[in-house]
Structure 1
């Protein structure tokens, strides 16, 4: 019974941040009638205002909001691209905040190149090891090999999660040193700024919440192998 309760508590701690991020974005996604423009229109305006040469705004798939430094693209999900809500405006400002970081070659923008690419590679390696571990164990017929494969897989997934945490300064800078001061300049009325603050905090923690889910998936794989 204690094992079940501990397992549930750990799962809640891991899943909780992801659910919180989704809840905050959903909570403030109601359309505001007198909002002067959509997320895409605000993003385009900010790109022109800050003279971010070559940066374009595109409509991406559902839940896909990001800035691609290599393509110089601010990608916004349909509800953010067309939306006129606090969530749409805040998310658009956050992604343009990333564009400002990279176009101005700010030191904080180096964190993504240094850690995020490595995190993706390590994550794929860990997933591949977990996928082929049972097959290799059956072929080699050695539990010791399986044990070492498991250890390597655990290390790779945890390392990936830690690298997501390492880019938090970049995410917080985009939210609170870029997007929030911009929105305070009259893009949002005063009574909506606290809501925008919540949305921007959720944006900053998106990668960490996703990394925690990777840890949960790892735990489920380990239980399956056992």
Structure 2
């Protein structure tokens, strides 16, 4: 039983990330039929939807929409690349920009609960890693229940982060990016399935990460 749980944990922890990397890399080759790069496509969409947003490069693998600076940030390979992955990721990040520019309800979930989740995570981490030092310095008994509670709070907060982010990610992928790509005629019919895989792979990473954190909490509660 424990061996099966260990195998399941490993698959949940590493399987999705490997699948995402494989999927993104599979469609990351440059294509001559795309008239522009991912960065140019992002700028085109920003102009089309009249968004007050910028586009710039970021570190590889750190693609995101910065809600504070109002900036779509793309990896160098996507910013300068003319691949299906580059175009799809660019559309996804612009999808986030559309969400926040229009102040859609989907963004309120993040704005309302994400700060709380980060606070709980930091508090739990402080108790988890800082309390043993405090007890040693002050020479007071170490409270095991407090340690377990801190692990639980940190784990729950980690899960909450992904629960809050996931609806927004799904919306940016399948209610923004995919319709834009298909209805706008930016990709051919034979590319729709691949684009859907790219968007689905990225979204499912959040689900898998949340599951890993839930397993982590369950393991501690069983002690």
TM-score if structure 2 supplies the norm length?
0.86
Matched, 1:72 2:70: yes
Is the deviation greater in 181-190 or in 199-208?
A: 199-208
Equivalent pairs counted in the alignment come to: 219
Closer/same/farther in 2, CA of residues 209 and 5 from structure 1, 3 Å limit: closer
Q: Is the 8 A contact 2:121 2:153 kept in 1?
A: no
Is the deviation greater in 56-65 or in 159-168?
A: 159-168
Distance in 1 between residues matched to 2:26 and 2:212, nearest whole Å: 22
The runs of 5 or more residues in structure 1 that have no matched partner are none
Where 1:31 maps in the other structure, the secondary structure is coil
Distance in 1 between residues matched to 2:191 and 2:130, nearest whole Å: 50
Q: Is the 8 A contact 2:118 2:161 kept in 1?
A: no
Distance in 2 between residues matched to 1:137 and 1:215, nearest whole Å: 29
Distance in 2 between residues matched to 1:217 and 1:125, nearest whole Å: 18
Closer/same/farther in 2, CA of residues 15 and 168 from structure 1, 3 Å limit: same
Q: 1:73-114, CA deviations, whole angstroms, 9 ceiling, x for partnerless residues?
A: 001111111111111111100000010011011111212212
Closer/same/farther in 2, CA of residues 115 and 16 from structure 1, 3 Å limit: farther
Distance in 1 between residues matched to 2:213 and 2:77, nearest whole Å: 26
Matched, 1:83 2:62: no
Where 1:42 maps in the other structure, the secondary structure is helix
What does residue 11 of structure 1 align with?
10
Q: How does 1:194-213 map to 2 (within 5 A)?
A: 194-212=193-211
Q: Is the 8 A contact 2:118 2:157 kept in 1?
A: no
Where 2:82 maps in the other structure, the secondary structure is coil
Q: Is the 8 A contact 1:11 1:216 kept in 2?
A: no
Distance in 2 between residues matched to 1:117 and 1:193, nearest whole Å: 36
Distance in 1 between residues matched to 2:210 and 2:58, nearest whole Å: 22
TM-score if structure 1 supplies the norm length?
0.85
Closer/same/farther in 2, CA of residues 127 and 84 from structure 1, 3 Å limit: farther
Where 2:35 maps in the other structure, the secondary structure is coil
Distance in 2 between residues matched to 1:213 and 1:30, nearest whole Å: 32
Deviation at 1:210, TM superposition (A): 4.3
Distance in 2 between residues matched to 1:23 and 1:40, nearest whole Å: 22
Aligned CA-pair RMSD: 2.5
Is the deviation greater in 66-75 or in 207-216?
A: 207-216
The runs of 5 or more residues in structure 2 that have no matched partner are none
What does residue 90 of structure 2 align with?
92
